[in-house]
Amino acid sequence: MFNRVAFITGASRGIGRATALTLCRAGFEIVVASPEVEKNEEVAAEIRACSGDAMTLDFDVTSPASVKDGVAKAIKDKGRIDVLVNNAGVTRDALAVRMKLSDWELVLKINLQGAFLCSQAVLPGMMKNRWGRIVNISSVVGQAGAVGQANYSASKAGLIGLTKSLAQEMASRNITVNAIAPGYIQTDMTAVLPEEVKAKILASVPLGRIGKPEDIANAVKFLVGEEAGYITGHVLAVNGGMYM
């Protein structure tokens, strides 16, 4: 049995890093793709330390050329891409009435357009192999909205629409496309929130704790496995109950 190859964007930190390490332990070969070259190598070293196989890519999801070239390099090196995890994302928070157009465009370009470009690049190979798994990392705010996050919420809601459309298009080729909607997860992105905001969010979580990146990574591991082969077009909420 050959090892499946998982291509993970934004894999240099947070949820992406946890996903890379979790899938490595599950026997996947990993492509660590992000523009943070040094951090990519740190993650790859961790993967190799647990007897896994990894390659790194200086990868910019906003650049069609970078996406096309990066995917081509991965396929040349690994022979195939079986799993794509669209995890790359940024925030640029502000009330909508004050939001800069450049901040709206950047968030949509990275979070949503980037996922589209990556999916478009890997799908021909998956279609040829008649097997594939795409997991888009959405967010609870893509379902519920959030004050000061019109751009981020729109991008993550867009990912859900992209997920459902691709799932319908690709089902006949044995390719599943699903989304995960994380809640309040302990990452660099949430670490910068003011303490009063963190406390307010935590109070809305019935399970009473902040999620860990590994909580999301374990959900990814399930969705990309053989056991989830009859699940597609689904949005899996991993949010401690904060939105039901």
Radius of gyration of the CA atoms of the chain, in A: 17
Residue 139's region, left for phi above 0, alpha for psi from -120 to 50, else beta, is beta
Please give the positions annotated as active site: 152
Say how many Å lie between the first and final Cα of the chain, rounded: 39
Q: Please state, in angstroms and as integers, the Cα–Cα distance from residue 44 to each residue in 30, 54, 75, following that order.
A: 8, 6, 18
Q: For residue 111, which of 66, 74, 71, 156 has the smallest C-alpha distance?
A: 156
Task: Indicate the angle between helix axes 150-170 and 101-108, nearest 10 degrees.
Answer: 30
What value, to the nearest 5°, has the Cα angle with vertex 25 and ends 9 and 37?
35
Residue that is written with structure tokens 């969010």 in the block: 201
* Cα–Cα dist 91/104, whole Å: 9
Sign of CA dihedral 224, 227, 231, 232: positive
